[in-house]
Amino acid sequence: MACYEGATIHIVSDGKRCPMYDDPDADGHEDPHSIISPPQKYIEAINGAKFAVGLTLEPTFDFANCDAVRVKFFFETSSFVQGDLRRIDAEGGAVDRRTRSVSSMVSFCSSTGQWQKADLTFGELKVAETSESKVTLNDIKNLGRIQVVWQRIHWGPKTLQFVTKEPSAISEVSEKVLKGKAIENAIKLDHYHIQQKPTETYVEGVPLRGLLGREVRLNILYRSKRTLQMLGCIPRTPSPILQNSRAEEAVVKLDDPQEELRALRARVAELENRTSSTPQPHVKSEQHRSASKVKREREDKANDVKAKKIRTSRRTEVVDLTAD
């Protein structure tokens, strides 16, 4: 929500108040009484979500002897809805008596000859290279914008007035007309149903004299989440961090020796666990190898001695060659 000169402006979408973000390009010279450069806020628009925009006067609001505060809600095209907050009701009254809001629009349908009511909804804006729609630059000058205007007034003469103009909605534009604007959403009128012919009494409003009689304006720009991130209104979604990342394991607070020691111990424990869990190949110990070697040597020596005994145990026969 946004607060200006004793009034709070809010937008409710899908039953929740939309956070309002500051304009990153604001230079501090915005004037709520200016038609050219009023302050503006950003909100996130979700396709298909109904919304309502409202204004609530604070309990300390200075009426300055006016009859009422006239509130007007302008939507991207020339459509608008207005209503009065009567001083006799709002001054010192409950919140609902100090609030004016709008969530739908009533209009006359020339094709059916009936009055109808439709909900205000955020819709998708289709951008095509070429579009058959006859949308002009003048039509989209307020595209993606809701403007709230309020003013202290004295009541003038009463007249009867009917809303006979059919509200128009832009659903498709060409790239040439859009001229690179970062707009992906548009206001759509949805869920039409038959409405009885309204009987509205229009009261002419005469602004108070002096500074308190000036109009106060606020522009609310609705954009997709991606566009808000690109504009810098909200932070970008951080990239996911891999759980097994070595970089994450290596992060150590070097200025804290205890933290570094704990990290090293954890690393050593991890390596020991890996080593103990890995099956080791069977390797004969040095002692076993030495014993085997000694055994073989003893067997070889025993075989040599046996062979010698066999050779020495033979009797040598003496042949006398001198005998007859």
Q: pLDDT averaged over consecutive 10-residue blocks of the chain (324 residues)?
A: 90 93 87 91 94 94 93 82 89 89 86 87 83 70 90 87 63 76 84 82 88 94 92 77 50 55 73 65 48 49 48 49 50
pLDDT at residue 311, rounded to an integer: 47
- 274: helix, coil or strand? helix
- First and final C-alpha spacing in the chain: 148
pLDDT at 242: 52
Please state whether beta strands 126-128 and 172-174 pair in parallel, antiparallel, or not at all (unpaired).
Answer: parallel
Whole-number pLDDT of residue 303: 53
Contact in structure between 179 and 194 (CB atoms under 8 Å): no
CA distance 75 to 187: 8
**Which of 78, 236, 83 has its CA nearest to residue 166?**
78
- pLDDT recorded at residue 77: 65
CA distance 185 to 190: 15
Residue 185: how many other CB atoms lie within 10 Å:
20
Q: Would you give the DSSP letter of residue 212?
A: G
The four Cα atoms 150, 154, 160, 161 give a dihedral, to 10 degrees, of -20
Query: How far apart (Å, rounded) are the C-alpha atoms in residues 212 and 209?
Result: 7
Closest among 69, 32, 219 to 144, alpha carbons compared: 219
**pTM beyond 0.85:** no
pLDDT of residue 252: 42
